[in-house]
Structure 1
């Protein structure tokens, strides 16, 4: 009477375990997605809003002989209008 449910439970557990092993084996070969920014990339401070931005994504502007980096054209324009 108690043996049949235990057998069903054991078979279900074995099927679930086999499924997990197969799923893990298939996903092991896939490579992780590439990072969007490189490690160690220099972060620059936007003088207008105070946001740190990666150098390669910054908008560059010359103001009174020095180079400033901005997070957006809007911040650049606000800063240039104040200067």
Structure 2
């Protein structure tokens, strides 16, 4: 029997519980929001920063919004991911 055939014949791994999937979904959304917030800060710097320029205007609001929402999102996801949660 070949290795490929062994994989096809073996049973599928168990599906993670819904609470684990919900926690991973929340974390994925949070990581995406952090990436977007970082882009909102660093994109203007990358575009406008030129030699000799002392300041570049950036918007920190997306970062503040993520920081305010992150704790609530993690609190909602965490209890469901814990056994008995």
TM-score with structure 2 setting the length: 0.33
> Greater share of helix residues, 1 or 2?
2
TM-score with structure 1 setting the length: 0.34
> Greater share of strand residues, 1 or 2?
1
Larger Rg: 1
* Bigger RCO of structures 1 and 2 (CA < 8 A, at least 6 apart): 2
